[in-house]
Amino acid sequence: MGIGKEELWKNVLLNNSQPVKEMNRLDVGKNDSFYVYRLKRNDYRELNRIYAADNKKESKDFLFLATAAKLALVDSKLSKEIIYKDTVLIVSHESPELGNFYDLIINETYKTKFKNKKISKANYTKYLYSNLSKSAYNLQSFMFLFRIAKYLNIHGFTQYINNACASGLYGIESASQHIKLNKCKAALVVAGDHPDFYKYLWFKRIGLYSPNGQLRPFDANSNGFVFGEGAVGIVFEDLEHARKRKATIYGEYLGGGFSQDCWKVSFPAIKEKHYENAFVQALAISKIKKKDVDLIVPHGVGNYIIDRFEAEVIKNIYIEHRLPLISAFKPYFGHNLGGSALLETALLLLAIKNRQVPATLNIKQKHPRINLDLVDRNTRKKINCAVKMACGFAGYNAVAVFKRL
Amino acid sequence: MNSKDSDRVVITGLGIISSIGIGWKEFWKNLIAGKSGISRIETFDTSDFDRHYAGQVKNFDPQQFIGNRSLSHLGRTSQMALAATHLAIEDAGLSYEELKQYRVGISIGTTMGEPQVLEVMNNILIRHGFDDVDPKLVPVYPSNGISASIARNLGVTGDNLLLANACSAGNYSFGHAFDNIKLGKADLMVVGGADSFSKLNLVGFNRLFAVAPEKCQPFDKNRKGMIVGEGAGIVVIETLENAKKRGAPIYAEILGYGLSCDAEHMTSPEVKGITKAVTKALKATGIKPEEVDYICAHGTGTGQNDKNEAQAVRNIFYTNGHKVPTSSIKSMLGHTMGAASAIEGIACCLAIKHNILPPTINYEELDLECDIDCVPNKSKSQKTKIVLNNSFAFGGNNACLVLSSIKNNDK
């Protein structure tokens, strides 16, 4: 959907976003294809221009995060001194560089098989370890923390959070905690992902990936989600500090509710109330009444069971109240995994700022059992209070409340 | 009731899985005896490598702690973390039924999470192709599975955070949990760090020429690097008020912590960054350098780390003839990565409890650049009230935790 907030917002309002189909080599003579939301070729050029690091070839994972972080800092207009001394960097990514690591393994394996090299299994493993040790080392999370901090000259402190697809909201809560405890003046939360073919293979095997690339949250014809690549950075700071320096304020983070399912890795505990409890907790901490919420942005992954469960959570909360507007944002940029919750929060904040709720794309037919009304066209509305929900793998539930100022 | 007790955060249960002992009693006995947990690697053939030693936990039987059904869904890091959790909860005098009365949170640190799982998948993939990789293995790899599996096993549905701040991750988790208790977000926190040894770790660190051939010699002139280790250190923390009410054992009070980010060099901590983390910790807790009785060093045994840490310690603490004993237990355990500062936090608690400082073993020759009192080779009895737990990880992740004994009249 473009690089930078203006382009993102402009493209979102066009309500036109489609994934591309990619063919990948699995083994000698064995291919598979999958749909994925990719950046456009011009976008990559623009990323490299913004990153501006002497033509150094960077991995997509790093390039996305570093550039998003830079864009957020530039947009915040924080002083260099605050960035240097008093900013905390919080990074979220589920499995940094794993895709590149597997690309290398597959390519090395393919190369060896293709060339019909006579190589024993034991020697082959040794060969791989000697050839891939750099790539294996890059799987360490601190690489990103260090490199982004160095790139942006951040010397406060750093934090790496991995709470699956809910990571972004956990990152926001952590940022808020550090600011409230006066440990920093500002916090830059960055999250993203470069979902790869190998993750796709797994999601396909467990039946969660859309075979035709149609991400339709809560829809009768939903058949799974589609990955999307990218990253996002959001700067948080103390309200008084932001007002004093006349910063652009997109919204106020009022608080969040967090819970653990204690159930399956790849499925929410649909018979339990943990996700609902996180919602209730978020409203209580934020001192917001449910009737005052104008917009809910759910996780909305496009899987019938997960969507139905999430819809039930929302409907249980609003059992005696009219539902607020509900719009699911994944069809704009796909499922960005570890970055998804933060990416959708950024769009939510733009919706607050621009007084307009983007439609949920790809909705054709309401699912009779889910029966959730979604915003089906861009709707002008002053959003005073909005809620972002995320129910990540491994049972991580998070609900965050934001307010217009 | 002292009203301030509700604002004070204490450690009330210790759980440890290490190469020198399972459970804190065995660990402590061996630690103060200067026993080394470093041994020849037996889990895989190292003939292709030029390094053959590690701090592996060799007598760990996860079935003693975890049911068979759960075991198949857990990587080794999660298994050790979970076992250490059970030990910590038992040590805190908590029953699993009792846990339900409290708002319990979990905060766990690690580096890579489950590298052994990745290795298994890689081997299958290379030899047989993707179709043979068991889909159940894939979700075991992400590091967020460690804290989730603890929650699942305990039935704890509260706040749960996985921090992957390299080899300082344990201290970062302590910091987060401390804040959560202070802010009243949880009544009890299960906190710590865990990491398992793997071929990937060995290859990764060895690629940096950071691994010593046989032994780890922190602060020694002839130090040749670190030894990769593994383990888990988990503690239970709560308010002093709650601990007193339960009649729980109180090992130490967490006074506060300091964090900093070098952003200068990927693998070498800077004196400036170390100094910043330590001075932030002292400032946050109101402790003066001369009040510190012991520092549990990061002390990896690498040239640069030890030199810079020693310099920072000297700059801050070695004034007016005052010399704070600063030992590295990595000399015995190796570098347990994400578990390191959590295990070292436990060592600090026990140093306070027993008034004994663990030694830096393998110390042979003074390095003038590391001229500190590293408690060489033999543990030392000393009244120990205020303790610092240092961790200065790759990527410039610096953290310093301040612990204190609880005065007798506070117990």
Residue A157 to residue B273: CA distance in whole angstroms: 10
Instruction: Mark the ranges of chain B whose per-residue pLDDT is less than 50.
Output: 1-2, 409
Residue A37, min C-alpha distance to chain B (Å): 23
Which of A94, A162, A183 has the most B C-beta neighbours within 10 Å, making it the best mutation to test the interface with B? A162
**ipTM value for the complex:** 0.93
The pLDDT of A168-186, averaged and rounded, is 97
Nearest to A134 among B179, B207, B266 (CB): B207
Among B324, B320, B297, B319, CA closest to B308: B297
Pick the residue from chain A with its C-alpha nearest to B150: A262
By Cβ distance, the residue of B111, B122, B161 closest to A163 is B161
| Selection from B365, B349, B367 nearest residue B357 by Cα | B349
Q: Where are the alpha helices (DSSP H) in B109-224?
A: 115-128, 144-154, 169-182, 199-207
Give B-chain residues touching A146 at CB under 8 angstroms. Answer: 262-263, 266, 394-397
Say if A133 is an interface residue toward chain B (CB within 8 Å).
yes
> Can you give the pLDDT at residue A114?
54
CA distance A263 to chain B (A): 6
B261–A202 C-beta distance less than 8 A: no
φ/ψ of residue A237, rounded to 5: -155, 165
User: Do residue A177 and residue B179 have CB atoms under 8 angstroms apart?
Assistant: yes
Over 80: is that where the pLDDT of A28 sits?
no
CA–CA min distance A265, chain B (Å)? 7
The whole-number pLDDT of residue A373 equals: 96
The candidate with the shortest Cα–Cα distance to B16, out of B53, B55, B60, B54, is B60
Average pLDDT over residues A309-329: 96
Contact B162 A125 (CB under 8 A): no
Contacts of A193 (CB under 8 A, 6+ apart): A61, A64, A93, A94, A227, A229, A230, A231, A336, A337, A338, A339, A340
Interface test with A, best of B69, B124, B160, B209 (most A CBs within 10 A): B160
- Residue B259 to residue A183, Cβ atoms within 8 A: yes
Active site residues of B: 167, 298, 335
pLDDT at A142: 86
Write the DSSP symbol of residue B391.
E
CB burial of B260-277 (b: ≥16 within 10 Å; e: otherwise) equals bbbbebbbbbbbebbbbb
Residues 297-326 of B with CB under 8 A from A: none
Q: Does A259 touch chain B (CB under 8 A)?
A: yes
Task: Note the pLDDT of residue A189.
Answer: 98
Predicted pLDDT of residue B1? 44
Nearest chain B alpha carbon to A174: B176
Asked if A261 has any chain B CB less than 8 Å from its own CB, the reply is: yes
CB contact residues (below 8 A), chain B span 331-360, against chain A:
none
What's the pLDDT at B354?
A: 98
Q: Does A267 touch chain B (CB under 8 A)?
A: no
Residue A26 reports pLDDT greater than 80:
no
pTM above 0.80, yes or no: yes
When pLDDT is averaged across residues A325-346 and rounded to a whole number, the result is 97
Tokens found for residue B240: 């002093």
Nearest CA among A386, A382, A296, A294 for reference residue A349? A386
Q: Please, what is the average pLDDT of chain A? A: 91
Task: Say whether pLDDT at A20 is over 80.
Answer: yes
Q: What is the mean pLDDT of residues A76-80?
A: 96
Q: Do B162 and A258 touch (CB under 8 A)?
A: no
Q: State the smallest CA–CA distance between residue A353 and chain B in angstroms.
A: 30
